[in-house]
């Protein structure tokens, strides 16, 4: 398979379990990510959505090995990441933009030192002048002025801080970036600017994104494909427009029905699919399909086994025993 045809990132049966102390010398695994598989093609954006606590951020961090995977495999550009050397190489090509621009930047470092930190770690410059030139180039990429370089993070607004974080992420010339809810802490007007900047940077630099968010409108705007997670499991994956306009899984249908519609006439005629009950604890997840306790279509078979994550239509994957009955 040629480099162009090969997926840039391939995740196979990824699991991330955290041991939780539940009493006298007893630990119970919290299954934050439980058997998740997907691919991300070169130059595309895969949006990952789901409610808080479903494991989205853990997926991103586990792919980058910020958490050691409990099980499963991450393959980058055709090569599995297994040894320390593999991981060192992978980290020169991949990075992360964090959710909170307030806590992800060191308050004691100037903007230039924050942006240059990856350059210093990977020894990516020959002399101080080359380092300074690269910092100014990165700041220009994200719309910051050169006079900002000597200031500190606390002197900036949330949107500007997130731009500093993005400049830091771009320092090593990465191919793959995990964007962990990068706009959720920002004002709505600033969100649009930052999202458009992600789009422009992708076109200019040929970047590949895993874009984690819970705002479906943001995800629809930036993503080529959308994956939906629930309680550590992947329940649906399809092209962005297909996932948004023709969701097949009952959970995806409910999520999309909750998206605000700006036209009041359409909003009044559209029906909101409200879910019953609360999301179960991942420490004590239901047997079989994790969504069955809140699903209006659940039957005995849903309690007996986890439905396979299979291709129901071309490029449209769903994990639901009754998907064909529900969608007729």
Q: What is the mean pLDDT of the chain?
A: 90
pLDDT in tens, 149-199: 999 989 998 889 999 999 999 999 999 999 999 988 788 888 889 999 999
- 318 token code pair: 């769903």
pLDDT at 206 over 80: yes
Name all domains of the chain by residue range, CATH numbers in brackets: 9-93+174-249 (3.40.50.300)
What's the pLDDT at 117? 92
pLDDT at 2 over 60: no
């Amino acid at each position: 398979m040629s480099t162009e045809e090969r997926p840039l990132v391939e995740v196979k049966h990824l699991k991330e379990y955290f041991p939780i102390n539940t009493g006298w010398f007893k630990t119970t695994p919290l299954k934050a990510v439980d058997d998740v598989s997907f691919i991300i093609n070169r130059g595309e954006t895969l949006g990952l959505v789901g409610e808080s606590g479903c494991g989205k951020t853990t997926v991103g961090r586990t792919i980058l090995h910020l958490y050691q995977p409990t099980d499963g495999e991450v393959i980058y550009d055709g090569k599995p990441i297994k040894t320390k050397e593999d991981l060192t190489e992978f980290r020169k090509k991949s990075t992360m933009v964090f959710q909170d621009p307030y806590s992800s930047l060191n308050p004691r470092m100037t903007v230039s030192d924050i942006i240059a930190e990856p350059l210093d770690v990977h020894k990516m410059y020959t002399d101080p002048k080359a380092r300074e030139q690269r910092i100014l180039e990165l700041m220009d990429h994200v719309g910051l002025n050169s006079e900002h370089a000597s200031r500190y993070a606390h002197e900036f607004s949330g949107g500007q801080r997130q731009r500093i974080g993005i400049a830091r992420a771009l320092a090593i010339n990465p191919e793959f970036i995990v964007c962990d809810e990068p706009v959720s802490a920002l004002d709505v007007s600033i969100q649009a600017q930052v999202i458009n900047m992600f789009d422009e940077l992708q076109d200019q630099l040929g970047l590949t994104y895993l874009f984690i968010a819970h705002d479906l409108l943001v995800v629809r705007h930036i993503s080529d494909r959308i994956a939906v997670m629930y309680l550590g499991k992947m329940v649906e994956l399809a092209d962005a427009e297909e996932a948004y306009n023709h969701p097949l899984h009952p959970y995806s249908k409910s999520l999309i029905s909750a998206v605000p519609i700006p036209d009041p006439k359409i909003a009044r005629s559209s029906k909101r699919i409200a879910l019953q009950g609360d999301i179960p604890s991942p420490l004590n997840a239901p047997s079989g399909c994790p969504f069955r306790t809140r699903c209006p279509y659940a039957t005995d078979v849903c309690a007996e086994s986890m439905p396979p994550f299979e291709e129901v239509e071309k490029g449209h994957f769903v994990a639901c025993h009754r998907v064909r009955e529900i969608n007729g």
